[in-house]
Chains A and B, each alone.
With several copies, the nearest count.
Chain A
Amino acid sequence: MSLADDLYRETILDHYHHPRNQGALEDATVKTEGVNPLCGDEVTLYLKVDSDAISDIKLEAHGCSINMASGSMMSEAVLGQSLEQAMSVAGVFKNMMLGGSQETALPEELEDLEALQGVRKYPVRIKCALLPWNTLLEAIETSRAKGEDHQE
């Protein structure tokens, strides 16, 4: 298998060159920063959460192709989802990346993400792919904690 088959598949390069949902979100309800201490890559994630669902999402990402593509795909995958659903997608994705070497079949709407499976062969890059997702999970947690604060 060549690098282009494993890592730099067309889908990935497409998301890398044309990342979706890039930029800041003026009316975000949560803003979370993530950093990969090993390489310094950073991502700022903006979520607009309305009645427990992600009604808008944007990212300011400075990172490698894998990081950028993963973030871009993530933003598409969770936009419009409930926090619950978003967390479950993140779980499915993390499982795929950290699980064994078996290919995982993802539900149709997450198909794009399958392109990132090749990254598993490059352990160092797994962290790049996970950064946006871990940042998402942190953002959801923050959002929920805020929600609880409001209820008090």
Chain B
Amino acid sequence: MKAFDLEQVRKDFPILSRAVNGKPLVYLDNAATAQKPACVIQALTNYYEHYNANIHRGIHTLSEEATSAYEAVRESIRDFIAAPCLRSVIFTRNATEAVNLVAHSWGRTNILPGDEIVLSAMEHHSNLVPWQLLASERGAKLVYLELTESGEIDLQQAASVIGARTKLVAVTMMSNVLGTIVPVAELAKLAHAAGALVLVDGAQGVPHLKTSVTELDCDFLVFSLHKMLGPTGVGVLWGRPELLEAMPPFLSGGDMIGSVWRDRVKFNELPYKFEAGTPNIADVIASGAAIDYLNRLGMDNVRAHEIELTKYALNRMKELDDALVYGPLDANKRGGVISFNFADVHPHDIGQILNESGIAIRAGHHCCQPLMRDLKVAGTARASFYIYNTKDEIDQFLEALQEADKVMGHVACR
């Protein structure tokens, strides 16, 4: 029984009829960015062809239409992450900017010398470097949650690390390398008991797992729309309203002000306080179409489809001699991201050879260099799935992997 009509879904994505090197595109680089359904592209075209205008301060029809479409997406996002109130949904460029916003605005007013910021060992650079810079500026310290053999959070070690000095626990919801789903609510319990806040990097989690900020019990959540069928250029910061109210603005300029004099300023209310300058209006509006599309499929179905693909892929990977798969082996504990190394073939070469068969995977450090060091590799190859991927594509992927070994001179058998 199919959770949704996969054939129909594939038809919704124009790019899937493209050929690469004479072969149909097999797009397995979804953790980097997702493809876009026609309705999202159409939302952009429709905006630019019919009601493109600057928002919030306009009195003419185009501006009113654009403003209400933009603000309606804020409501869609609020619903999508089950957030209690609207004014705590802030649009940014991407997840990275959202983390930086918190690090600058909350961090620089709250982190003191000696404080500790707890990260997991598998954080993406975007949820790591901003905290490094904050820590070094404020004399605070980064402390790491270590991973178990299978690449999971060790809650016991976490309990020993999160304590009175902890001011913030900043963790990914799902690893973009290992696929690991992090027990955020458990970590939040530890953090809150210690009086610390929790920031969740939902860049991988929100696109693939049904998300509720209340259930995660987090204080901040960041994510990027481009990884969930939306256009490039839109991220979201959600924060507890009382925290956001108390935080100073980050970027300043037009739209985020209440009144401006030559020598002083009164800021606008939330969410505008954090949205300076002309926003990415078109892409926010088109993000609404992406959210609607995911809602139509149902996030439970999205997850079910990915578990099925992941299970299948993990099983088939076992057939390969000499393939090393990282992360939890139970598809229920992980997202549809499979990082691996194969037969001593460098991930770049794997990526290159797969591309020859029209298969797009990613190769490298995946913006997780500290994790790579822990795994004692320079990089991994990574295949990642989304709603339009099929088992047939996974078969093609496996076939091409064996071809790669052949091209490189049968390293697996040397």
Contacts and interface: CB of A to CB of B under 8 A. Distances in A.
A–B: direct contact at CB < 8 Å: yes
A13 B409 contact: yes
A66 B63 CA distance: 19
Interface string A1-37: 0111001100001001100000000000000000101
B352 A125 contact: yes
A62 B378 contact: yes
Contacts of A122: 64, 352
A84 B338 CA distance: 48
B217 interface: no
Interface in B43-74: 56-59, 63-64, 67-68
Most buried by A among B68, B348, B407: B348
A135 B356 CA distance: 30
Interface stretch (A38-46, A48-56, A102-110): A38-46
A123 B70 CA distance: 14
A13 B408 contact: yes
B348 A125 contact: yes
A96 interface: no
Interface in B315-329: none
A63 interface: yes
A69 B168 CA distance: 46
Nearest to B373: A40
A8 B407 contact: yes
A39 B64 contact: no
B258 interface: yes
A38 B378 contact: no
B407 A38 contact: no
A92 interface: no
Classify chain B: how many residues form its interface, as a range.
20 to 34
Nearest to B365: A40
Contacts of A41: 348, 378-379
B346 A63 contact: yes
A77 interface: no
A125 B369 CA distance: 20
A98 interface: no
Interface in A115-152: 122-125, 128
Nearest to B367: A40
Contact of B346 (A3, A42, A64): A64
B408 A42 contact: no
A97 B356 CA distance: 21
A39 B379 contact: yes
Interface residues of A, number: 27
B58 A124 contact: yes
Most buried by B among A17, A38, A40, A64: A40
A8 B408 contact: yes
A39 B379 CA distance: 8
B292 interface: no
Contacts of B353: 3
B349 A65 contact: yes
B112 interface: no
Contacts of B160: none
Contact of B378 (A2, A13, A40): A40
A37 B259 contact: yes
B372 A64 contact: no
Nearest to A38: B57
A128 B269 CA distance: 17
Interface in A55-110: 62-68
Interface string B249-279: 0000000011100000000110010000000
Nearest to A3: B356
Interface string B380-414: 00000000000000000000000000011101001
Given A3-B353, A7-B352, A39 B407 contact: no
Contact of A3 (B58, B68, B407, B414): B407
B409 A38 contact: no
B364 A39 contact: yes
B64 A124 contact: yes
Nearest to A8: B407
Nearest to A122: B352
A123 B68 contact: yes
B20 to A, nearest CB: 13
Given A38-B364, A40-B364, A64 B259 contact: no
A124 B59 contact: yes
A123 B347 CA distance: 17
Interface of B: 56-59, 63-64, 67-68, 257-259, 268-269, 272, 346-349, 352-353, 356, 363-365, 369, 372, 378-379, 407-409, 411, 414
Interface of A: 2-4, 7-8, 13, 16-17, 35, 37-42, 62-68, 122-125, 128
5 contacts: A3-B353, A3-B356, A8-B349, A39-B363, A123-B68
Given A13-B409, A37-B257, A64-B349, 14 more contacts: A2-B356, A3-B407, A8-B349, A17-B414, A37-B272, A39-B57, A39-B348, A40-B378, A41-B348, A41-B379, A65-B346, A68-B346, A123-B64, A124-B64
Q: Top 6 closest A-B pairs, CB basis?
A: A64-B348, A64-B346, A40-B365, A39-B364, A37-B258, A62-B378
